[in-house]
Amino acid sequence: MKLIRIFIFLFAFPVFAQEGGMWIPSLLEGMNEDEMQSLGMKMSAEDIYSVNQSSLKDAVPHFNGGCTSEVISPKGLLLTNHHCGYSQIQSHSTVENDYLKDGFWAKNLEAELPNPGMTVTFIKEITDVTEQVLKGTENASSEEERQQIIEKNKQSVIDSSPKEAWQTNRISTFYEGNQFMLFRVETFKDIRLVGAPPSSIGKFGSDTDNWMWPRHTGDFSLFRIYADKNNKPAEYSKDNVPYKPKHFLPVSLDGVEQNDFTLVFGFPGTTDEYLPAVAVEQIVNTINPARIGLREVALKEQDVFMRKDQQIKIQYASKYARIANYYKKWIGESQGLKKTDAVGIKKAQEKAFMNTVKAKGLSKEYGSLLSDLDKAYAEYEDYNLAYNLFSEAFIRNVELLRNGFQLYQLEQVLQARGEQSFNDRKANLLEDFKASYKDYNAQVDEKVFEKVIAFYAENMPEQFMANNLKSQNKLTLTNNIYNNSALTSYASIEKLLEGNANDAVKALNEDPGYSFVKEQAQKFYESVLPTYRNKSLEIDALQKKYMKGILELSPEDARIFPNANGTLRVTYGQVKGYQPRDAVEYQPVSYLDGVIEKYVPGDYEFDVPQKLIDLYNQKDYGQYAENGKMPVNFIGTNHTTGGNSGSPVIDANGNLIGLNFDRVWEGTMSDIYYDPSISRNIMVDARYILFIIDKYAGATHLIDEMKLVHPKQKGKNKRKDKKKK
């Protein structure tokens, strides 16, 4: 056995020495199962994913399409992050009952709050359907025809695969188009808000602490799944009853220590682990600097106003947080990519790949692949930059530009689909505007506009900008638009769009704000988008081939996991500190003492509720303390990304020990290159959640419906038994 292994290692080049990994739960048997057990896991692959018996997967639904959640009681109680339930919590809040500020705790089932439109989705079964989906594609004469065959095959697999009436079949693409999986899923639609701590706990540290360790955030909220009387998904009805899950997670009171096994189960959104060096260079040198720079000027202007005006602070808090989140992430990502020399490592991998290609006589298929990628990415660069600059400026950071761009699309609807579609779209748009303009401040937006447009003009390649934006005086341009455009208030937009479609479009085109957007947007559609799209398709096809090569040429036991694609994955690792900088060592667990250390009375990020201070002073931690201290957050080596928020952190025996919500700054490049020495995910300790629910909120009825366990005590006995043998 050993000899064979050595033989493989000598003769198969380490094409891709990949660390980390987000694994498909139905394919854990073998390498993953062995590795997990060697890290301390006491479960089998079948305990994690099984179609026939209940397993962990039956407790882990996708939360409203973006986050993850887990069932933690036999009555469908659902745990996720505070930042995942944020908009639901906000939507139930008023000035008198501000649940974001003060928290919310339903006293009983009747008091739980419905959230129309919200869903959670369970995965019932995962099946590899690659063969059926790719059938007949060998003979396709073009990439286009190939895609058509694939689409047709997918539809017929979906239509012919068994499912219950209340379930759905869908297919997702893995390994950049080299593998296809069928998911049979069940979606619940009556999801009610049960509890949320105040933001001073659930969002403690806010933007300053975001993406950072040491962290002290109680980032959790509670919901409940309701079903019809047969326990099946149903639209909201007051007659619905709490869902009885196939499985729910017991909650461990034993906590964690360095090197404990952890498993994170959830729905990671997107990663790009198999980019060639040239693509990573492009992100670090061109794309990230552009989007970071643009967001920086926008955030800076907003911040000035938010600091001196309470109303503006409230109006812009959530918008600011959204922009700041990825702004900060990209900075960390670029630094991490540089520090780990991800480009150098990728180049070495590419060299090994080419050596293997030559050694195996596969030059015909893969010989030019990497130079093709180099060429394609080089041609793509300006278009990629332009695409990012345009979307940051005209869609994400300046409200008047975003609204103008939506109106531009409205005008396109009239041309493409006629008056009826125009009117429908207009009605929807006005409704959106009505909501968004409530939180609009034209003075703030004007400043943001001026600075963002200056950045845009400075950085956009000239051939992609409508006439002389560069030479225009930005202050004059801005003043003219904000003094004369109807896009600065809801009332004036509503008035502008009055009358029939032609009148509305005519009025739009006379508006200086709208004409500015239209001019730039038209230029973008003409000069950027077509080539951007073509190049993207070309790159996708090359990446698919590269992925195929990596899969074919890597040794049998190489860790080649598929990029995140919003489907259910298992990632695992250990509780571990790390060294962020020379001479600095981070511990893996933070405590309530740290919350008190960071406390700034009245501050919007670091205020602490009096009740929590009292509990701290009295050390009133109930059964949740660890040696007299209250644990708050911990970190581990689990490979996670956006979408893993709200994911359960599970111990060696299948109990809940934590709730995933973030990553550490130095390791955020893990979406592109995972480095086990500094990539860490951040989790809320389950005991802090229980403590807040029980001692802080007094919602003991929720604790009563959970199953609290002491697995380590049992575990110790087990180990002793083993030793005796």
Instruction: Verify whether residue 219 is a known catalytic residue.
Output: yes
644 binds, among ligand ARG, ligand ASP, none (CB under 5 to 8 A by kind): ligand ASP
What's the closest the beta carbon of residue 559 comes to ligand ASP, in angstroms? Answer: 20
Residue ranges in 662-681 that form contacts with ligand ASP under rule CB under 6 A? 662-663
Instruction: Verify whether residue 83 is a known catalytic residue.
Output: yes
Residue ranges in 388-417 that form contacts with ligand ASP under rule CB under 6 A? none
**68 versus 397: smaller Cβ distance to ligand ASP:** 68
**121 versus 640: smaller Cβ distance to ligand ASP:** 640
* Nearest-angstrom CA–CA distance, 523 and 504: 23
Question: Nearest-CB residue to ligand ASP?
Answer: 645
- Here the tokens at position 170 are 């869908």
**Closest Cα partner for 380 from 498, 227, 536, 263?**
536
> Residues 55, 315, 563, 644: which binds ligand ASP (CB under 6 A)?
644
Q: Which of 58, 207, 209, 219 is catalytic?
A: 219
**333 versus 694: smaller Cβ distance to ligand ARG:** 333
643 binds, among ligand ARG, ligand ASP, none (CB under 5 to 8 A by kind): ligand ASP
**323 versus 385: smaller Cβ distance to ligand ASP:** 323
* Residue partners of 99: CB distance under 8 A and separation at least 6: 89, 90, 92, 93, 196
634 CA to centre of own chain: 20
* Nearest-angstrom CA–CA distance, 248 and 74: 6
* Nearest-angstrom CA–CA distance, 260 and 40: 7
> Residues 513, 549, 573, 642: which binds ligand ASP (CB under 6 A)?
642
685 binds, among ligand ASP, ligand ARG, none (CB under 5 to 8 A by kind): none
The 10 Å Cβ neighbour count of residue 409 is 12
* Nearest-angstrom CA–CA distance, 270 and 396: 19
The 10 Å Cβ neighbour count of residue 300 is 12
640 binds, among ligand ASP, ligand ARG, none (CB under 5 to 8 A by kind): ligand ASP
What's the closest the beta carbon of residue 119 comes to ligand ARG, in angstroms? Answer: 20
The residue type of 463 is Q
Instruction: Verify whether residue 69 is a known catalytic residue.
Output: no
What's the closest the beta carbon of residue 58 comes to ligand ARG, in angstroms? Answer: 26
Burial grade of 293 (CB within 10 A; 0-12, 13-18, 19 or more): middle
* Residue partners of 616: CB distance under 8 A and separation at least 6: 592, 593, 595, 596, 630
**269 versus 562: smaller Cβ distance to ligand ASP:** 269
What's the closest the beta carbon of residue 200 comes to ligand ASP, in angstroms? Answer: 19
What's the closest the beta carbon of residue 640 comes to ligand ASP, in angstroms? Answer: 5
By the rule CB under 6 A, 328 interacts with ligand ASP: no
**199 versus 565: smaller Cβ distance to ligand ARG:** 199
**214 versus 642: smaller Cβ distance to ligand ASP:** 642
By the rule CB under 6 A, 214 interacts with ligand ASP: no
What's the closest the beta carbon of residue 219 comes to ligand ARG, in angstroms? Answer: 7
* Nearest-angstrom CA–CA distance, 278 and 416: 39
* Nearest-angstrom CA–CA distance, 507 and 488: 15
Q: What is the DSSP string of 242-303?
A: E---S----EESS---TT-EEEEEE------TT--HHHHHHIIIIIHHHHHHHHHHHHHHHH
> Residues 179, 563, 641, 653: which binds ligand ASP (CB under 6 A)?
641
What's the closest the beta carbon of residue 326 comes to ligand ASP, in angstroms? Answer: 10
567 binds, among ligand ASP, ligand ARG, none (CB under 5 to 8 A by kind): none
- Here the tokens at position 223 are 């919901």
154 binds, among ligand ARG, ligand ASP, none (CB under 5 to 8 A by kind): none
Q: Which of 26, 199, 645, 679 is catalytic?
A: 645
Residues found near ligand ARG in the complex (CB under 6 A): 83, 203, 206-207, 210-211, 321, 325, 642, 645, 662
The residue type of 268 is P
* Nearest-angstrom CA–CA distance, 656 and 564: 23
* Number of residues forming the site for ligand ASP (CB under 6 A): 9
**236 versus 326: smaller Cβ distance to ligand ARG:** 326
**Residue 708 backbone phi and psi in degrees, to 5:** -90, 135
User: Beta strand pairing status for 708-709 and 251-252?
Assistant: parallel
295 binds, among ligand ARG, ligand ASP, none (CB under 5 to 8 A by kind): none
- Here the tokens at position 378 are 């080089």
464 binds, among ligand ARG, ligand ASP, none (CB under 5 to 8 A by kind): none
> Residues 349, 403, 645, 679: which binds ligand ASP (CB under 6 A)?
645
Burial grade of 161 (CB within 10 A; 0-12, 13-18, 19 or more): middle
Mark the segment that binds ligand ASP (CB under 6 A) among 91-99, 607-615, 637-645, 699-707.
Answer: 637-645
* Residue partners of 304: CB distance under 8 A and separation at least 6: 447
> What is the three-class DSSP state of 195?
strand
Catalytic residues: 83, 219, 645
Instruction: Give the binding site for ligand ASP (CB under 6 A).
Output: 640-645, 661-663
